[in-house]
Amino acid sequence: MEPMGSRVQRVDARTNRARILDVAEEVFGKGGESASTEEVARLAGVGIATVFRHFPTKAALLEAVLVRRFDRLREQAEALLDADDPGSAFFEFFSHLVADAATKIAIAEALLDAGGDSEAAAQASKRLRQAVGTLLERAQQAGAVRADVELPEVYALLVGTSRAAARGNLDQQVTQRMLAIVFDGLAP
């Protein structure tokens, strides 16, 4: 039987890890490659040694943040698979991914700048893409998206509109018009 202190310490360690990931997502999502692990530690209320105990390098921290973000987005997509209106679910999730893009791009670029080349993030991204593909199929079956469109084209549109929204400093109205044009093109 384990001493009670060990169990508490593990719970505390899990809490610290989650808090570090939450703060890192915000810090690197806003600051990209210029953000620091020291800032993450300070805002998470832990020492830098605690950050490095959980994540031995900045790249490892960024990889964990990006994987968690992709997994959360995939879970959101999967939660929409049984929506009463598959077309609305698909288009709303597409819009959500575009709105989320600036943060995801900043974290991904920070990961590359930190020397990371993450297989785990690539696999998490692939799982998200598959979930988007399933949403697309359901929207097509419901007649909300044209049948001759396939996932590679839709993902190219998604990436393009996401990058435009993230990098073009577009205001909300321009982003909404851009999405309306894309969605009109996807309509049957």
What is the mean pLDDT of the segment spanning 113-123?
Answer: 82
Token pair 């044009």 in the structure block, residue: 181
**Of residues 116 and 80, more confidently modeled:** 80
What is the mean pLDDT of the segment spanning 113-125?
Answer: 83
How far is the CA of 26 from the CAs of 124, 163, 165, in angstroms? 19, 19, 19
Task: Name the CATH superfamily for 4-186.
Answer: Tetracycline Repressor, domain 2 (1.10.357.10)
Identify the band that residue 1 occupies on the pLDDT scale cut at 50, 70 and 90: very low
In this model, does residue 170 exceed pLDDT 90? no
Tokens of 61: 């921290």
Token pair 């109205």 in the structure block, residue: 173
Least confident of 23-27, 68-72, 126-130: 23-27
What's the pTM? 0.84
What is the mean pLDDT of the segment spanning 33-44?
Answer: 85
What is the mean pLDDT of the segment spanning 18-39?
Answer: 84
Domain ranges in the chain? 4-186
Three-state SS for 126?
helix
In this model, does residue 126 exceed pLDDT 90? yes
Q: By the 8 A CB rule, do 93 and 77 touch?
A: yes
Q: By the 8 A CB rule, do 61 and 55 touch?
A: yes
**Of residues 87 and 43, more confidently modeled:** 87
